Amino acid sequence: MRSIWNGAISFGLVSIPIKLVNATESHSVSFRQIHTEDGGRIRYRKVCELEDREVTQAEIGKAYEDADGSMIPITDEDLSQLPIPTARTIEIVAFVPEDRIDPLQMGSAYYLAASGAPAAKPYTLLREALKRSNRVAIAKFALRGRERLGMLRVVGDAIAMHGLLWPDEVRAPEGVAPEGGVTVREQELDLADALMDTLGEIDLDDLHDEYQEAVEEVIAAKAAGERPPEAPAEAAPGKVLDLMAALESSVRAARESRDGEEAGAAEGAEVRSLPRRESSARRAPKETGGKKSTSTAAKKTAAKKAEPKKSTARSSAASAKKTAAKTTAKKTTAKSTTRSGDKATARSTAKSTAKKTASRRRSA
C-alpha cells in the first residue's frame, strides 16, 4: 500500500517513525461527463479570469478569499512553517476508554505502518500497551493543510488511526426528534423486541453492494450491444394505519423469510461423511459394549441354529433306522415268503410225482 503521509508518533519521549496508509478503499463505479449528441468528453479547463487563457498546473497556487472578494495568496512554505508541533508528528495527548468516543466523530480510517527496523520495538510497545490497557489513544496530527484529531486503536497486529471531527464540528440533534409527547404501549415494545429477535444477527462479510453489481451488469450489457436488464416492478405497499398490525405483519414476514432461507439452505446442503477419527472417538464406548452383546447374541444364535441341526440329525438318523428296519423286514418277509413258497411248490411237486408213480404202477 502506498503511503500518503510520513511522520512519527510522539509517545511521551518516545518517537516512532511511521507511514500513513489508507485503510479503506472505494469500489464504486465512476462515470465521465459526455456530450449527449456526439459522445464527446466534457473536460474542465483551468482558465485565468484576468488573462482569459488556460493555465498549467505549475502556474496554479492557492489563496484565501477575503470577505470583500480579495485574494490573499498562501504558499506551501507558509503552511510548512506553521507554529504547531503536529506538522510531521502524531502527538498522543491522552488515553481513554473506547466507549468515550462518539461514533458521530469518527471519519476516515488509516493504518500506521512502522517505518524501518528502528521503529519495530517502540511500535510493538505502543501496540501491546494499548491492548493491555483496553483503551485507545487520542492524538493530534496535521494532514492536507489542517490539524486534525485522531483515535489510535489496535487492529490485529497493526495500529489503526481513525480521523475524528472536533467536538464543535458535530451538530446537536436539535429539531430532529418528533415534537410532542408520544406514548408507546408495552405490547408494541414486545412486538418490536420479537421483530428484532426474529431478524436476528448477520455476518457483515455476507453483505455486498447490490447497486454496484446492477450498474456493472448494465455496463456489460450495453458494451455487448444487448438490452440492459430491467428491474421487476415493485408492488405498491398497502397502507397500514395500525402500528400493532404493522408490527405483527413484519414479525410474520420475517419468520417466513427465515424459515424459507433455512429450508433452502437445507435443500442445497452438501452431505459429507464425518471424519473417521471423530466417529471412532465418539462411538468407542458404545462399540465396546456392542461387541459383547453382539458376540453373546451370535453365540445364542449359533446355539439356536445348532439345536435344530442336532434334532434334525437325530430325526434323520431315527428315520434312517426305521427305513432300514422296514427294508430289512421287507427283505426277511420276501425271503421267508420265497422259502415257504419254494417249500410248498416242492411239496406239491412231490405229491404230484407220487400220484403219477402210483397210477403208473396200477396200470402196470
Q: Which residues of 129-164 are buried (b: 16+ CB within 10 A; e: fewer)?
A: ebeeeebbbbbbbbbeeeebbbbbbbeeeebbbbbb
**How many CB atoms within 10 Å of residue 196?**
12
Cβ–Cβ under 8 Å, residues 114 and 17: yes
Return the C-alpha cell found at 148.
Answer: 486534525
User: In this predicted model, which residue has the larger pLDDT, 160 or 356?
Assistant: 160
Q: CB under 8 Å to 291, separation ≥6 — which residues?
A: none
Q: How far apart are the first and last CA of the chain?
A: 160
Residue 297 CA to residue 303 CA, distance in Å, equals 10
Residue 356, pLDDT > 80, answer no
Least confident piece of the model among 165-174, 237-246, 279-288: 279-288
Question: What's the pLDDT at 86?
Answer: 62
Strand, coil or helix: 329: helix
Q: Which residues of 305-340 are buried (b: 16+ CB within 10 A; e: fewer)?
A: eeeeeeeeeeeeeeeeeeeeeeeeeeeeeeeeeeee
Question: What's the pLDDT at 304?
Answer: 44
**How many CB atoms within 10 Å of residue 190?**
11
Residue 38, pLDDT > 70, answer yes
Q: If pLDDT is split at 50, 70 and 90, which confidence band does 350 have? A: very low
Least confident piece of the model among 30-39, 101-110, 178-187, 305-314: 305-314
Top mean-pLDDT range of 27-31, 123-127, 279-283, 329-333? 123-127
**In the chain, what percentage of residues exceed pLDDT 70?**
68
pTM: 0.58
Question: What's the pLDDT at 85?
Answer: 62
Question: What's the pLDDT at 144?
Answer: 76
Residue 172, pLDDT > 80, answer yes
* H or E element that contains 15: strand 14-22
User: In this predicted model, which residue has the larger pLDDT, 220 or 271?
Assistant: 220
Q: If pLDDT is split at 50, 70 and 90, which confidence band does 106 have? A: very high
Residue 109, pLDDT > 70, answer yes
- As beta bridge partners, residue 136 has 96
Closest by CA to 141, choosing from 93, 97, 102, is 93
Q: Using alpha carbons only, what angle is made at residue 174 by residues 168 and 180, rounded to the nearest 5 degrees? A: 165
Q: If pLDDT is split at 50, 70 and 90, which confidence band does 230 have? A: confident
Q: Using alpha carbons only, what angle is made at residue 201 by residues 236 and 111, rounded to the nearest 5 degrees? A: 110
Residue 254, pLDDT > 50, answer yes
Please write down the HEC assignment for all residues of 36-73: CCCCCECCCCCEECCCCEECCHHHCCEEEECCCCCEEE
Closest by CA to 255, choosing from 184, 327, 198, is 198
Q: What is the mean pLDDT of residues 110-134?
A: 93
Average pLDDT over the chain reads 76
Residues in the chain, overall count:
364
Cβ–Cβ under 8 Å, residues 128 and 177: no
User: In this predicted model, which residue has the larger pLDDT, 10 or 356?
Assistant: 10
Q: What is the mean pLDDT of residues 130-143?
A: 92
H-assigned helices in the chain: 76-80, 120-133, 186-199, 210-223, 243-267, 276-363
Question: What's the pLDDT at 233?
Answer: 74
Question: What's the pLDDT at 156?
Answer: 94
205-229 pLDDT, tens digit each: 888 888 888 889 899 998 999 888 8
Question: What's the pLDDT at 282?
Answer: 43
